[in-house]
Structure 1
Amino acid sequence: MKVLMLTSSYPIEGSPLGPFVRNVVRGLTWQGVEVGVLIYSTKRKFSSYSMDGATIYEYPYALFTSPSLHTHRGLIPSVKNSWLARLQVPGYLASTSYHLLRIVKGYDIIHAHWYLPSGFFACLLKPLHRKPVVTTAWGAEFHLPNNLLIRRMLSFVHNRSDAVVAVSKYMKDKAHEYGLNTQQMTVIPNCIDISHFSLPRKKSGKIIIGTARRLVPEKRVSDLLEAYAKLKSGGTELWILGDGPQRSRLERISKELGITQTTRFMGMVPPDDVPSYLSQIDIFVNPSVQEGMATANIEAMAAGCVVVATNGYGNDEVMTHGVDGLLYEGKNPAMLASLLSTLAADARKRMKISEKARKESTRFSFGHTARAYLLLYKANTALIERTLKKY
């Protein structure tokens, strides 16, 4: 079986974007599937090469100006924030269409990641490529404005795809809010390479509380700073891994709260270095109120961290409160502070939850997720003939 992944995020050129898509690719190649990945690039020329057992196809979209669709960690944020990125959209549309139709000839199925823009492209060009389309909703598409235009675009992709996947039950429910019929929607969770995060725990003499995420408003890192400032236990440090437009504001807040001496802003950490940092973090906090299913939670659990996350947003599908993690109501720094204080003062409880978390994280190995996708592909191989006859 040959599967072409169409995605707008993938960890190429040192990019931290789309590691969860890469995990699916690695799992599928491990299962013997021949995988190609089609991704737009900042390069001026088309290139193809092998990576993780898959063939990566990088194609250009801006030949005469500096590529700007990568400047804000994703296509949609870039278009929202950059006039030059908006000017480059027509070139992106034309280049994506051309390269998709050219490359897909050698593949059996198109697997589009995100309804927009990849799923839209794959479904719009279906009369020309005549291949079955599987579309995965990772989360961002169901946090867009719920207006008529967005609903119609999402509905077009949803109804024209031969199979649709949500990464959590929460995302499936969100799809329903946009008027989509989710009865035939399959839930296949995010996955990670468990072995990559199974490093020995490192002791520093201090209790390290940390988070790893993009510093944007919806990730609510300010709640973590406020909660940390309320901690009654000494001997702690706060590590914030990641970067983003809110960094200067968050640094200012930490100064106002008087916690700069024990708070470290690490900046963007290369993906390959994240496991080493997680092996030193005792308590990992995810204060976000916008997720599909946070891969960061699973990575932290696999690393043996005690994860404290907002209740809902797919987090309650990953962990059970009080067993292999802790959940709290989002936008509630006081409740978060209480949980952090309890954990910081109880080493035995931290150890017990840590051990349970590591065991539970194995449910999300890329092998398990890849097998689920492979079953979905095989269930839809009959669609190849049906699709060819339809157009």
Structure 2
Amino acid sequence: MKVLYISGMYPTPVYPQKGIFCHEQVKALKQVNVDVDVIVPITIYDKEVKQKVWDYEGVKIKYIRFFKLPGVKRYENIGKFLYFSLILSGINFKKYDVIHADAPLPAGDAALRLSKKYQIPFIVHGHGLDVFFDVSYKNAPNCQKIIECCMKVYEGADAIVGVSQKVINCIQERMDIQKKSYVVFNGVDVNKFYPTDKITKEKYILAVGNLISIKGHDDTINAFAKLVNSGVTNIRLKIAGRGPLELELKRLTVELGISKYVDFLGYVPYEKIAELMRNAFLFCLPSWYEALGCVYLEAMACGIPTIGCYDNGIDEIITDGVNGFLVHGKHYCEIYNKLLMIEHNIYSEVSKNARKTVEKQYTWLDSARKLYDIYQDVVRNC
């Protein structure tokens, strides 16, 4: 089975943690004997990527530049522009059995055009809840055209994969995709993320995620402040990630009088994240707009109690009080009630169940095997 994997969410030499979940997926596909070539589209004005090819952890990545004006202007045409760049790249597309596109634009639209030209089946893989881009571009004058372009991609796809049922539901609400939709959860490398005895003397709660609104870091900080003010002062809060809300979140810790208990770690390499998780006492990310979130699975694999949100992809995996904890988005008092339990010994069984849950069906190999079955189905039915 030979697959062309097109993804704009993929590591670069400058930012190797970008889209690391896609890279882990590709590595797992190779382990189940899928021959994968990776194409990463980058805009003509992108200054981050200097090279055309990068061999990273046994995966050969080819960066293809395509035309796109800054901002949202003509965004509905970027798939067409990427298609032209791919045609001119000299790639022999006829050697592929399947094209795997991450997201409908630009990869999905380009894959649709390649599929028609070379008669190759393609799948679209949805990693986010904004499946029609009408949240990201709701104020753009061409938003409706962007939506229509996404719909054409879904209509033309041989299979549509979502990282959670929530993703599939977001598409199904507008168009019928039941006969060709699949849920393939992301996974975790259980050999990299695993439980261990705490080697640090410092007791801390960990949050990992970009410093943006949807991640709910402000709710975590408010809940943590309430915990500290209740008398629990033998624990810290560590937040790993960078983003536009960094100064605002730091100011919040000062206003709440807890800045001396909170560490903003900024960008943290992937390997260091695993170490931070292994030594944390609890993971908290009350993200209220999340298709799934690999960090939850990674925390669970490390056997630490994990807090996520209801009505997001992770609630398809976490059962509250059994293998993790769930709260409603934007309700920091609910988070506080979960944090209160850190002073009691009720986390032990939850931690064990979290690890068992991941080991049973949420490794990257589990994910890769399901994708392989989908590839076979679309080739067989082509």
Alignment TM class, shorter chain as reference: 0.7 to 0.9
Distance 1:144 1:178, change over 3 A: farther
Tell me the percent identity.
Answer: 26
Number of the residue aligned with 1:46 = 52
Q: 1:113 aligns with which of 78, 96, 102?
A: 102
Which whole-Å CA distance do the structure 2 matches of 1:133 and 1:300 have between them?
33
Q: Which residue of 1 aligns with 2:317?
A: 318
Q: Match of 2:116? A: 127
Aligned match of 1:55? 60
Which residue matches 2:4? 4
2:226 & 2:133 partners in 1: Cα distance?
Answer: 34
Q: Could you say which residue in structure 1 is the equivalent of 2:380?
A: 382
Does structure 2 conserve the Cα–Cα contact (< 8 Å) formed by 1:114 and 1:138?
yes
- 1:74 is matched with none
On the 8 A contact 2:133/2:147 being kept in 1, the answer is no
- Give the letter for the 2:8 counterpart: S
Q: Distance in 2 between matches of 1:22 and 1:313?
A: 23
Q: Secondary structure at the match of 1:57?
A: strand
Give the superposition deviation at 1:94.
Answer: 6.3
SS at match of 1:5: strand
Deviation string 1:183-206 (CA, Å, 9 cap, x unpaired) is 431111111211111152324344
Letter of the structure 2 residue corresponding to residue 367 of structure 1? L
Q: Given residue 31 of structure 1, which amino acid in structure 2 is its aligned partner? A: V
Matched residue type, 1:256? E
1:24 aligns with 2:25: yes
Question: 1:201 & 1:251 partners in 2: Cα distance?
Answer: 31
Q: Measure the CA separation in 1 of the matches of 2:198 and 2:365.
A: 27
> 1:165 and 2:170 equivalent?
no
2: distance between equivalents of 1:352 and 1:284? Answer: 16
AA of the residue aligned to 1:382: R
Residue in 2 that maps onto 1:202:
198
Does residue 148 of the first structure (1) align with residue 144 of the second (2)?
A: yes
* Matched-pair contact (CA < 8 Å) for 1:4–1:109: yes
Distance 1:277 1:56 in 2: 29
Which residue identity is paired with 1:46? K
The 3-state SS of whatever aligns with 1:292 is: coil
Structure-1 residue corresponding to 2:45: none
Comparing 156-165 and 172-181, the one that deviates more: 172-181
2:356 match: 359
Deviation at 1:100, TM superposition (A): 6.6
Q: Check the 8 A contact 2:83/2:111 in 1, yes or no.
A: no
CA distance in 1, matches of 2:285, 2:276: 16
Q: TM-score, normalised by structure 2?
A: 0.88
- 1:214 equivalenced with 2:210 (yes/no): yes
Q: Give the total of aligned pairs.
A: 364
Aligned residue in 2 for 1:235: 234
120 and 140 in structure 1: CA distance in 2 versus 1, 3 angstrom threshold: farther
* Cα-Cα RMSD: 2.6
The structural deviation recorded for 1:352 is 1.7
Distance 2:310 2:166 in 1: 11
Q: What is the CA deviation profile of residues 176-232 of structure 1, one whole-angstrom value per residue up to 9, with x for unaligned ones? A: 234453343111111121111115232434431111000111112111111111002
* 1:192 correspondence with 2:192: no
Q: 1:104 aligns with which of 93, 97, 111?
A: 93
Corresponding residue for residue 373 of structure 1 = 371
> Is the alpha carbon distance of 1:149 and 1:309 closer, same or farther for their aligned partners in structure 2, counting shifts above 3 Å?
same
| Residue deviations 1:243-266 (CA, integer Å, cap 9, x gap) | 001111101111111110010000
How much has 1:170 moved relative to structure 2? Answer: 1.3
Segment drifting more, 88-97 vs 188-197: 88-97
Q: Judging changes above 3 Å, is the alpha-carbon distance between structure 1 residues 100 and 127 closer, same or farther for their aligned structure 2 residues?
A: farther
Alignment-mate amino acid for residue 39 of structure 1: V
Give the secondary structure class of the aligned counterpart of 1:38.
strand
Is contact 1:155–1:180 with CA below 8 Å preserved after alignment? Answer: no
Gap runs ≥5 in structure 2:
43-47, 136-142
Structure 1, gaps ≥5 residues long: 63-67, 70-77, 387-391
Q: Secondary structure at the match of 1:239?
A: strand
| Matched letter for residue 247 of structure 2 | S
1:268 Cα deviation after fit: 0.8
Q: Compared with structure 1, are the counterparts of its residues 218 and 178 closer, same or farther at alpha carbon in structure 2 (3 Å cutoff)?
A: farther
CA distance in 2, matches of 1:313, 1:143: 17
Does the CA-based 8 Å contact 2:132-2:151 persist in structure 1?
no
8 Å CA contact 2:283, 2:304 repeated in 1: yes
Q: Is the CA contact 2:11–2:23 (under 8 Å) kept in the aligned structure 1?
A: yes
Which secondary structure does the structure 2 equivalent of 1:172 belong to? helix
CA contact (8 A) 2:287 2:329 kept: yes
